[in-house]
Structure formats: structure tokens, C-alpha cells
């Protein structure tokens, strides 16, 4: 390389490795557009090398007892706590998060690691009864093999933790396809787990574009389980390729998540949570509340409060800022184009609708928090996940209409409803077609022990994290034996 910028390499078998060819991608600071580093653009050959390393490491790693694997994960937790500041600083720069948000994400990843480290002393099976006299049955969990993990850049260390720790505690080895827009945090994590005592080859990282390296990971017969978080369109492709070879595939995909405000809601609390759901992390959440559905009788009052809240939010990457930029220039331009199209389709911009004009944001990928009213429920922006700080507002007359509109989407990831009525809240929760429903809070908010995943185009029925994640990363074996009384 001619320039002096940091170079991010692959991590294979416990050390940094260059790619097969001398091809590099630029990673740019989303806040100011400056070049942060160069990333190796891996090929199919590089991915195969990583899979080979994981395959060779599998017998020894899976041969450890779950308790011992949990002890090693506990050492990783300690290292994450010790280096939490370094991890958070990397995330803040790479993704354009304010520091308190980056620290919160690291803390969430640590909690995830702690939970699955503890599974080493559980990893429960079941005892089963039999119709045959003297026959005793029980189930055990056994590892699948090599796990191919493909993560996005919106919450990079959290995404890595959600997949890596359940995969490891079950005894699998890992090849992680790092997100192109958060390459360094994946490399830092790889170095950290090695320093904490994870054997070489158990955790490997491939950098670069997904078209070559990610596709090779999905297609390789040696990869037994594939876990992908990202867009529904890519998820469908992965399901097709992985399904043909009968690989286990776990998909956590997009969402167009409804946020319902009833006529008896605490409007100030509803505004607080609607703003966080739509605009925190610059709207870059699969669980973002991007469709705000409001009862007609409180619509004007709620809109006034929400617009005022949106306009009060502080852009930037300094401490105390509410939201930073979106992850890259291409995403910014796609979002701005979607806003322009929404206006052409009859949408009224209540606030935002453009990039900020202040010079301090001119080189970054910023978008003002945007609220759009008046779109038909069939309009593209009412239906399509946008992954930015943009939400549409919709008026309904009652709870039945709210439920119908909330369910009028191919997605089914999350939902939230604000009401003082326990009956109404629970009725809605039972009838909404989503994998997660929150009452009087936001549309996001999973915890390490809670399953997360969606219906319809939001996934394929698997769940991460929680104990349910063990079903993704382990095979269930039923063992039976017969006690013969004549042998006593």
C-alpha cells in the first residue's frame, strides 16, 4: 500500500493474514468523510482458508466440556470489561455513535457474553419417559460444526456477541464475516479473544465485500450452520443457497415496525419512546419504530409534541448528542431519495427531510430526524425498511383499525403500543403479528436471556439470543438405553 493509513487484515488461525490478492477497500469516517483505514477485500480462497482453520480446530474445541468452554468465555468477559473503553472508542469512530451510545453497546455485549458463559454449567437436556419397561431416555446438545456468522455494522459488537457466544458455548468453531463498515471492531475482538485464551482457529474473521467472501461462506459444504443479520433480500438469497445443501440457516432480517399511540396514552411518555424508537442510533435498527400509528382524537396533540421533540434532538458524535450520521454516503443518498419520492407520492414533511446545512456536518452522512405525514399505507416509504432517522405518521379511528394497519406489512419483527388499559395492551399483544411486542416502551429492547426474532419477512423462525439461540447452534440427540432385570 502506498498510503500510511491503517490496514485491516483477515484473522485466520490466531493471526492476521493478508488476502490472496492485493485488493483493498476504503473505510470512511461517517462523521466527516475522512479515510479511516484500508480493508482487505477477501476472495473465495481467503474464506476457504478461514473455514479450513475452523474445521481443523473443531475437534479439540468441541471435545472440551461445556463447563471448560464456559470458563474460557468467562475469561473473555473479563478481558472485554478491562478493554471496554478501547472497544467503545473504536465503535464510536467507525459507526459515528456518540460515546455514551458506544459504551452502552459494549456493555450489552458483555452482558451477552456473561449469559452464555453461564450456559456452560447448564446446557440443559431433558429426561424422557418411555412406553417400554426398563427403557430410559434423555437428550443432550452437541455442536453443529463450523458456524458461519454474517453481521451488519449498525451495532457491531452487539451483533458479534449475539452470534459468537452461543456458537462457542455449544462447541462450534466460527468464521465471522465482518461488516464492511465496521471492520476494525471485528479485528479488535479477534485479538481480544486470543489474548483471553481462546485457542487458535476457533474464531476467525474475514473482511471485505460480501459478494465474494460472504457468498463463499454460505456455499461451502464444511459450514454447518449459517447465521445472518441483515436485509430481507440478502436473507432470501442465503436461505436459497444454504437450503439447497441442507445447512442450518438462522435469519434475523428487516422490520417496518409499528408504534401505536392510543387515545388514553400518556402522550409525554409516548413521545419519549416514539422518538427513541425512530431516531436513536440514527434510525439504524431492524427494530426501529418507523410507522407511528396514532388515534385521531390525540393525533394533533401528539404530532405537535413529537415534532418539537424531533427538532430538539442534537446531531453529532460528541457526548450528549442524540444521534450521529448514518453509516456511509451511499446509505445517506438512498434515504434522501426515499424522502423525495415520498413527497412526490403525497407525503407532507413535518420536520427534517434533508441533510443538515451546518458546515460541521457537511462532509458527514447526516440526516435530520424526519417525520412524514399523509402517505397512503401502500406508499413505498410506508412499507419499505429505510434504516435511517425517518418515520411516517398514520391516523386511525380505533384499536381495530390500528391493529389492521400494524399488520398490513410483509414484516413482523417488533411492535409497541402505548395505552393505560391493560386489557387493550394485552389484546393488541396477542393479535399483532410480530416476534416482540412492548407495552408502554419502545419498539426495541431485547435482553441477553430474551429471544428476539420475527414473523414473515423478518426472519425464518429462529431466535437469538436467549436459551432459544442454543437451538440454532446445537444438534439435539436423544439417547436411550435398556436396563435388563436379568442382568442385575
- Which residues does the annotation mark as catalytic? 252, 286
Can you give the three-state secondary structure of the chain, one letter per residue?
CCCCCEEECEEECCEEECCCCCCEEEEECCCCCCEEEEEECCCHHHHHHHHHHHHHHHHHHHHCCHHHHHHHHHHHHHHHHHCHHHHHHHHHHHHCCCHHHHHHHHHHHHHHHHHHHHHHHCCCCCEECCCCCCEEEEEEEEECCEEEEECCCCCHHHHHHHHHHHHHHCCCEEEEECCCCCHHHHHHHHHHHHHCCCCCCCEEEECCCHHHHHHHHHHCCCEEEEEEECCHHHHHHHHHHHHHCCCEEEEECCCCCEEEECCCCCHHHHHHHHHHHHHHHHHCCCCCCCEEEEEHHHHHHHHHHHHHHHHHCCECCCCCCCECCCCCHHHHHHHHHHHHHHHHCCCEEEECCCCCCCHHHCCCCCCCCEEEECCCCCCHHHHCCCCCCEEEEEEECCHHHHHHHHCCCCEECEEEEECCCHHHHHHHHHHCCCCEEEECCCCCCCCCCCCECCEECCECCCCECCCCHHHHHEEEEEEEEECCHHHC
Amino acid at each position: 500500500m502506498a498510503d500510511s493509513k491503517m490496514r485491516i487484515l483477515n484473522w485466520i488461525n490466531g493471526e492476521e493474514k493478508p488476502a490472496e490478492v492485493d485488493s483493498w477497500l476504503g473505510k470512511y469516517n461517517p462523521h466527516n468523510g475522512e479515510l479511516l483505514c484500508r480493508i482487505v477485500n477477501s476472495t473465495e480462497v481467503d474464506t476457504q482458508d478461514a473455514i479450513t482453520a475452523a474445521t481443523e480446530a473443531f475437534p479439540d474445541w468441541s471435545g472440551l466440556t461445556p463447563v471448560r468452554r464456559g470458563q474460557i468465555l468467562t475469561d473473555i468477559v473479563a478481558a472485554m470489561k478491562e478493554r471496554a473503553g478501547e472497544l467503545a472508542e473504536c465503535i464510536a469512530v467507525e459507526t459515528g455513535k456518540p460515546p455514551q451510545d458506544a459504551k452502552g453497546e459494549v456493555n450489552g455485549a458483555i452482558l451477552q457474553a456473561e449469559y452464555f458463559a453461564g450456559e456452560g454449567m447448564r446446557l440443559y437436556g431433558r429426561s424422557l419417559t418411555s412406553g417400554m419397561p426398563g427403557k430410559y431416555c434423555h437428550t443432550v446438545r452437541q455442536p453443529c460444526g463450523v458456524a458461519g456468522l454474517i453481521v451488519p455494522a449498525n451495532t457491531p459488537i452487539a451483533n458479534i456477541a449475539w452470534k459468537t457466544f452461543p456458537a462457542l458455548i455449544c462447541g462450534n468453531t466460527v468464521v465471522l464475516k465482518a461488516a464492511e463498515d465496521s471492520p476494525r471492531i471485528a479485528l479488535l475482538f479477534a485479538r481480544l479473544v486470543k489474548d483471553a485464551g481462546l485457542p487458535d482457529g476457533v474464531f476467525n474473521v474475514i473482511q471485505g465485500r460480501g459478494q465474494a467472501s460472504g457468498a463463499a461462506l454460505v456455499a461451502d459444504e464444511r459450514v454447518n450452520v449459517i447465521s445472518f443479520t441483515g436485509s430481507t433480500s440478502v436473507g432470501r438469497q442465503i436461505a436459497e443457497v444454504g437450503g439447497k445443501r441442507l445447512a442450518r440457516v438462522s435469519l434475523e432480517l428487516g422490520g417496518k415496525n409499528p408504534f401505536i399511540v392510543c387515545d388514553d396514552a400518556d402522550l409525554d411518555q409516548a413521545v419519549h419512546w416514539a422518538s427513541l424508537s425512530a431516531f436513536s442510533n440514527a434510525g439504524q435498527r431492524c427494530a426501529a419504530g418507523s410507522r407511528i400509528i396514532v388515534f385521531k382524537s390525540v393525533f394533533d396533540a401528539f404530532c405537535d409534541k413529537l415534532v418539537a421533540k424531533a427538532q430538539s434532538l442534537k446531531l453529532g458524535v460528541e457526548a450528549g448528542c442524540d444521534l450521529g450520521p448514518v453509516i456511509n454516503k451511499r446509505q445517506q443518498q438512498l434515504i434522501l431519495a426515499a424522502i423525495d419520492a415520498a413527497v412526490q407520492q403525497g407525503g407532507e414533511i413535518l420536520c427534517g427531510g434533508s441533510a443538515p446545512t451546518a458546515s460541521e456536518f457537511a462532509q458527514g452522512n447526516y440526516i435530520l430526524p424526519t417525520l412524514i405525514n399523509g402517505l397512503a399505507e401502500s406508499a413505498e416509504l410506508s412499507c419499505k425498511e429505510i434504516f435511517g432517522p425517518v418515520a411516517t405518521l398514520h391516523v386511525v379511528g380505533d384499536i381495530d383499525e390500528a391493529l389492521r394497519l400494524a399488520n398490513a406489512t410483509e414484516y413482523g419483527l417488533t411492535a409497541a403500543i402505548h395505552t393505560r388499559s391493560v386489557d387493550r395492551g394485552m389484546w393488541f399483544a396477542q393479535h399483532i403479528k410480530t416476534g416482540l411486542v412492548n407495552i408502554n416502551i419502545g419498539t426495541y429492547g431485547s435482553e441477553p436471556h430474551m429471544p428476539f426474532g420475527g414473523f414473515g419477512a423478518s426472519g425464518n423462525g429462529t431466535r437469538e439470543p436467549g436459551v432459544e439461540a442454543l437451538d440454532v447452534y446445537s444438534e439435539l440427540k436423544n439417547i436411550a438405553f435398556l436396563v435388563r432385570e436379568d442382568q442385575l
